[in-house]
Amino acid sequence: MIAGTSYAEVMARRQDIMKSAVGIDYEKFRTGAIAFDYEAMMDEVGYTLEEVHAIQEETNVGHTPLVELRNITELVRRISDPGKGARIFVKDESANPSGSFKDRRASVSVYYAKAKGYPGVIAATSGNYGAAVASQAAKRGLQCIIVQETYDSRGLGQPEIIEKGRACEAYGAEVHQLTVGPELFYVFLRLLEETGFFNASLYTPFSVTGIETLGYEVGAETLRATGRYPDAVIVTHAGGGNVTGTARGLRKAGSRHTEVIAASVDLSGLHMASDTDFNKKSFTTGHTGFGIPFATWPDRADVPRNAARPLRYMDRYVTVTQGEVFYVTEMLAKLEGMERGPAGNTSLVAAIAIAREMDRDEVVVVQETEYTGAGKHPYAQLSFAREMGVEVRRGDPGDNVPGKRIVIPDHPSQIRVKELSLPEIRKSYIRNALAHAGGQALSEEDIRFLAKDTNSSVGFVETTIRELAQVV
């Protein structure tokens, strides 16, 4: 019998609901006030990289083409200093069954749910992941429910989100479309409890492990194609799983010196949970509205401990503008004959700018593409932006103002990246960790954990804690 269903009652049971729906006792990994054994939690998946490859091959996931963007590379070299302009490659993840790398994330979760006897899977997502879970569930013969944050209070939904909902239904999923706000997590928990389905969360070890094959393929295939590991891999960053899984896979391929660069669309000033801001963003993922919060505190997810820990792995974090992504989307189609969606093109914008810094014999890889369609197409997004009162014009993309103005470049030489300070992001993470410690004194284990989780040092963590204490 289901217990009380008020918001407060459901939230009070969330830890028990999650434990049952994921099959992981997260408490057993706790080693301090903040610290936990991250690698032990990742090992909970129970599958080796080779076994994950085999699981994915059963449903035609992975082994996607690595494509050299020769025409875009030539363009970059024409606008770069002599001797500059790295070779640009892209891993064409749109070749996966539902059209994105998210099939890799979904594959292990759905396989595990089937193996453990769960009757179905549930995922809370407005993006490609919902379609991926629905597709993999169809292949494995499991029921599927997708919960989407779709509309503002006026009942208006973004074209891309609505399209993704239709895609989920096409694969046989039951789709619950909600308005922006806290009801998403509440409805998600109630459905998990009522159905007994598996929580195919984006943030479990199963999900992140599924992405490791992508990083492994990028490293191994680049080595075969060029005789060297990639010098840089650009990863579109939102919740952190893409960065985490790709970096871990690169390391397993032996590509340990590759620079992992996270890229997000700059949506600073827009609040993702705001009813008025919800439809003023033209990107549903891969933007700073997710990228910054999840980098500075990953455990804001729908599981007690997030397996996506992006600060552990990113060497650099850059942002690009909305107009630049629309411009490069058209560039990819017209110069390379590849019409792809905005998520991977966020990284391609960054790759074009960063390749101009690099030598011609170096290699930069954009590690994913995604399918495109009616709702993802720039025309649909820009038309919707205008309907929401956002100005769209050509000019210097530096004049972009999120939620107010989208500026599309006049020339490829205007494409650039903005550097975000990793030391400052690490300090924000440590500040949030202290707040979540609930006043408990940090142990040496906690300090070492924070150093690993921020890819810094014990000295950096201790200095930051002292500085924060002085501010208080």
Instruction: Please report which helix (H) or strand (E) contains residue 446, including its range.
Output: helix 444-453
What CA–CA distance (Å, rounded) separates 124 from 183? 11
pLDDT digits (tens, 9 = 90+) for 319-365: 999 999 999 999 999 999 999 999 999 999 999 999 999 999 999 99
Would you give the end-to-end CA distance of the chain in angstroms?
Answer: 48
Q: What is the mean pLDDT of the chain?
A: 95
pLDDT digits (tens, 9 = 90+) for 131-156: 999 999 999 999 999 999 999 999 99
Alpha carbons within 13 A on the beta-carbon side of 38: 24
pLDDT digits (tens, 9 = 90+) for 403-461: 999 999 999 999 999 999 999 999 999 999 999 998 888 999 999 999 999 999 999 99
Q: What is the mean pLDDT of residues 90-104?
A: 98
**Is the model's pLDDT at 20 over the cut of 60?**
yes
What does CATH list as the number for 7-51+100-203?
Answer: 3.40.50.1100
Domain boundaries, the chain: 7-51+100-203, 58-98+206-420, 422-471
Question: Is the distance from CB of 235 to CB of 367 less than 8 angstroms?
Answer: yes
Residues 6+ apart with CB under 8 A from 11: 186, 189
Residues 6+ apart with CB under 8 A from 360: 77, 83, 84, 85, 86, 87
Burial class (CB in 10 A: 0-12, 13-18, 19+), 28: exposed
Q: Which of 171, 252, 173 is nearest to 211 (CA)?
A: 252
Token pair of 202 as six digits: 């984006």
Task: Looking at 196-313, list the stretches that DSSP marks H as alpha helix, in order from N- to C-terminal side.
Answer: 205-226, 241-252, 288-296
**Is the model's pLDDT at 15 over the cut of 90?**
no
Q: What is the mean pLDDT of residues 208-229?
A: 98
Give the confidence band of 165 by pLDDT, cuts at 50, 70, 90. very high
pLDDT at 2: 57
The strand pair at 316-320 and 418-420 is best described as antiparallel
Q: Which of 209, 185, 186, 191 is nearest to 49 (CA)?
A: 209
Instruction: Please report which helix (H) or strand (E) contains residue 393, including its range.
Output: strand 391-395
The CATH class of the 58-98+206-420 domain is alpha beta
**Which of the two residues, 321 and 13, has the higher pLDDT score?**
321
What CA–CA distance (Å, rounded) separates 44 from 47? 8
How crowded is residue 271: how many other Cβ atoms within 10 Å of its Cβ?
14
What CA–CA distance (Å, rounded) separates 472 from 469? 5
The percent of residues in the chain predicted with pLDDT above 70, rounded, is: 99
pLDDT at 354: 98
Q: Which of 286, 230, 238, 278 is nearest to 258 (CA)?
A: 230
Residue 143 φ then ψ, to 5°: -70, 160
Taking CA atoms, 124 is separated from 12, 129, 272, in Å, by 19, 9, 15
Question: Is the distance from CB of 131 to CB of 164 less than 8 angstroms?
Answer: yes
- Residues 409-432 as b or e (16 or more Cβ within 10 Å = b): beebebbbbeebebeebbbbbbbb
Same fold across 7-51+100-203 and 58-98+206-420? yes
pLDDT digits (tens, 9 = 90+) for 281-303: 998 889 999 999 999 999 998 89
Find the length of the chain.
472
**Which of the two residues, 136 and 10, has the higher pLDDT score?**
136
Instruction: Please report which helix (H) or strand (E) contains residue 234, including its range.
Output: strand 232-236
